Chain A
Amino acid sequence: MSEKSKLTLRIISQEKKLLEEVVDKVSLPSTEGEITILPHHAALLSQVETGSLRFTQDGHEQDVVIAKGFVDVNPSGLVTVLVDSAIYARDISMEKVQKAIEEAQETMAKSEDQRELMMAEASLKLAMLELKVAQKTKKAGI
């Protein structure tokens, strides 16, 4: 396969660049539903929801949990995913996630501030998702 018929995937979170790799296929949750991007995809700019992104590289699938953000598909095959936060499924630490869930629930129970509630809800959603993905990856024995 020539380099032309592959995608370059960049995942960038606010803190750092998570990865920049040549991949075959990317699936991610857009606001309009799950989309899969293959090489020679039309130029696209879309919003991304909190969810799990899956990319295929040399036949191996990998999961990355992402928060909401944007995806920019360049006609030249460069896929840039810009998100608030991103983490590899294999890097998720169960204890941390459990703690995050507890903390978010605590804030939601106590706080009355609208903004704080919204932020707690978002982090709870992300933590739950991380937990789900992590359990799935463990089951698959990866």
Chain B
Amino acid sequence: MANARQIKRRISAASNISKITKAMEMVAASKMKKAQDQAILARHYALALQDSLQKLAAQADPSLHPLLSRNFTGKDILLVVGTNKGLCGSLNTQLFKKMDAWRKLHPDGEIVAVGKKIVHFCRLGGFKIHSQFTDIAEKVTTSDLVAISEMVIDGYLKQDFRSVGLVYMDFINTLSQKPRVAELLPMAKEEVVGEVTDGQKKVVKADYLFEPSAKEILTNLLPFYIENSIYQAFLESRASEHSARMVTMKNASENAHELVDELKLVFNKSRQSAITSELLDIATATLTV
């Protein structure tokens, strides 16, 4: 049968693919371990920092620092942390959905795209790109992100940005990651401002001492907090990326193996039927002689 050769080719193609996906799975698995550890260990810091800042923000006058006050003019910015490479399941698609939802609320919003996949989607989906970052190193360090955080802070201080949102994949565990939308700036939530102006609450608040002064600490702590939030988002999204890729590649290898098994069955069947028909031919030929 002419078919047999074709099937044979498909079998070898599928098994080659399974070898590649297996290799990618193992690469992702080793990167995943590192990325997960980094993300989980850094969480303590982010949480503690947030805690201190909330205390500070609740007690200091928001007018002390422009990052704590609201901007009423400027653009809405969304910082989307995606991946440079594909083949990681529905990870980027989930981010795209969040971006679409965000655009409904902020029709004139602009995107700060991190990762080639996000840039590509922005072009396809007609999002306005404010800026793009596609060359962040595999192992994220805070110094890599200085450019991004400086841009965000400067833009907000100059009142070019009205609000800055952040979307990334929050790492929950190897099998599940969830897209998370966070508001980066303005930091002053309505409640915090309300608390300060409210006379009654003022009495309740603990008397915190600030050294050297609340203003100075705020000035140092706020940009630092934003940097750290962005850093943490990057760590989480890296951990999510590698986890998602590993799971996807594992599924791909399994599917390829299944396909090889199926094709082998078809191949054997066709070979068997070829032999049978040949035997029949020989039998009829001998009978006629």
Q: How far is the CA of A100 from the CA of B64 in the complex (A)?
A: 39
B52 at the interface (CB under 8 A from A): yes
CA distance A10 to B52 in the complex (A): 13
B42, CB-defined interface residue at 8 Å: yes
State which residues 41-69 of A face B: CB under 8 Å.
Answer: 42-47
CA distance A99 to B221 in the complex (A): 31
Is A95 positioned at the interface, with any CB of B under 8 Å from its CB? no
Q: CA–CA, A72 to B221, complex, Å?
A: 12
Known: A16-B42, A17-B41, A45-B217. A10 touches B48 (CB 8 A): yes
Number of interface residues of A (CB under 8 A): 24
**Is B121's beta carbon under 8 Å from chain A?**
no
| In the complex, chain B residues whose CB is within 8 Å of the CB of A35 | 211
CB of A123 to closest CB in B, whole Å = 11
A83 shortest CB reach to chain B, Å: 9
**A75 surroundings in chain B (CB, below 8 A):** 206
Q: Is the interface of A mostly helix, strand, loop or mixed?
A: strand
The reply to whether B212 and A82 contact each other, CB–CB distance below 8 Å, is no
Residues of A within 8 A of B207 (CB): 42-43
A14 and B48 within 8 A (CB): no
Residue numbers of B with Cβ under 8 A of A are 38, 41-42, 44-45, 48-49, 51-52, 55-56, 142-143, 146, 206-212, 216-217, 220-221, 228, 231
- Residues of chain A having any CB pair with chain B under 8 Å: 10, 12-17, 30-32, 35, 42-47, 70, 72, 75, 80, 82, 115, 119
